[in-house]
Amino acid sequence: MKVAVVGLGLIGGSFALALRAKGIASRVVGVEANPLHAEKAVELGIVEKVLPLYEAIEQAELIVLAVPVDAIPQIAIKVLNIVSDNQIVIDMGSTKEELCEIISRHPARKRFVATHPMWGTEFSGPQAATADSFAGRNVVVCEKELSDAMAVEKIESIYRQLGMSVLEMNAEQHDLHAAYVSHISHITSFILSTTVLEKEREEETIFNLAGGGFDSTVRLAKSSADTWIPIFTQNKYNVLDVLREYIHQLNLFRKALEKDDIQTLRDIIDRANQIKRVLHK
């Protein structure tokens, strides 16, 4: 299969490497606006060459959109305007409702399969890409009933060959659940990190006292603003909803601590401990 990957950062670069490692792609070309990323992607063997968008599309059976989510809808329309019935387009974005709404009435909508591989790290750029990133992870396929059945079957087969489990959701469900299990995690990490940096001005003290718990909790704070600001703004209302609940829970904890209410503190922690049951079924 000949593949064109639009966006050669962490996700797009890792997908390209994974396709090559599994022998799924016979040729991978890239499209990349950042000249440094383009050069690095070729140097690392992620893609054979970097081409202009339309030239890359002409050479590909599969077109992968792995750019920031605010750029995906516009690029998706450009790609759908010229794809044939023999080509498939997928995205790998973390939000889906706006994208699916924008492309819903396009004449070539059936050639598009909306996907979200549930994987990422705090690092970015092609130098962070790895070939085995997707194994053992889940991928969400959204609005599959609006896509060509054979296209969906092909894409799901590719993800399974990469070691992923396939889940199905509509776009609205996806964005709601993503806000609760993914987006709030990044907000928590960003705010904890800025809180510590604001209150603890001695950087050496932070380094010396930081244990595994702190390090793991603020790991996501290293993530790129260019990636996450578009996600937060596109999923704004779901993110605001989860933030309201998060702030409510923080206030319950604060009030219990102010009153030395040991039982309420214990109840909150015991309730939180139940996450083990959810995550380790």
The predicted-structure confidence for 211-223, as pLDDT tens digits, reads as follows 556 677 788 888 8
Residue-level pLDDT at 204? 64
User: Do the Cβ atoms of 134 and 12 come closer than 8 Å?
Assistant: no
Residue-level pLDDT at 203? 62
- Domains 2-169 and 174-279 equal at CATH topology level: no
pTM: 0.88
What span, in angstroms and rounded, lies between the C-alpha atoms of 221 and 257? 27
Residue-level pLDDT at 212? 59
* Residue 138 clears pLDDT 80, i.e. is over it: yes
What percent of the chain clears pLDDT 90, i.e. is strictly above it? 82
What span, in angstroms and rounded, lies between the C-alpha atoms of 221 and 217? 8
Residue-level pLDDT at 276? 80
198 band by pLDDT with thresholds 50, 70 and 90: confident
The predicted-structure confidence for 149-185, as pLDDT tens digits, reads as follows 999 999 999 999 999 999 999 999 999 999 998 899 9
Q: Could you tell me which residues are beta bridge partners of residue 35?
A: none
CATH number of 174-279: 1.10.3660.10
The predicted-structure confidence for 22-66, as pLDDT tens digits, reads as follows 999 999 999 999 999 999 999 999 999 999 999 999 999 999 999
CA-to-CA dists, residue 153 to 39, 63, 156, 160, 203, angstroms? 34, 16, 5, 10, 52
CATH architecture of the domain 2-169 equals 3-Layer(aba) Sandwich (3.40)
Residue-level pLDDT at 210? 60
Which amino acid, residue 146?
L
CA-to-CA dists, residue 147 to 108, 116, 252, angstroms? 9, 15, 45
* Residue 85 clears pLDDT 80, i.e. is over it: yes
281 band by pLDDT with thresholds 50, 70 and 90: low
* Residue 200 clears pLDDT 70, i.e. is over it: no
More confident residue, 80 or 215: 80
Q: What is the mean pLDDT of residues 239-253?
A: 96
Q: What is the mean pLDDT of residues 197-223?
A: 70
* Domain range annotation of the chain: 2-169, 174-279
What span, in angstroms and rounded, lies between the C-alpha atoms of 34 and 51? 12
Residue whose entry in the numeric block shows the structure tokens 């596109």 = 234
Dihedral, 146, 148, 152, 154 alpha carbons, nearest 10:
-170
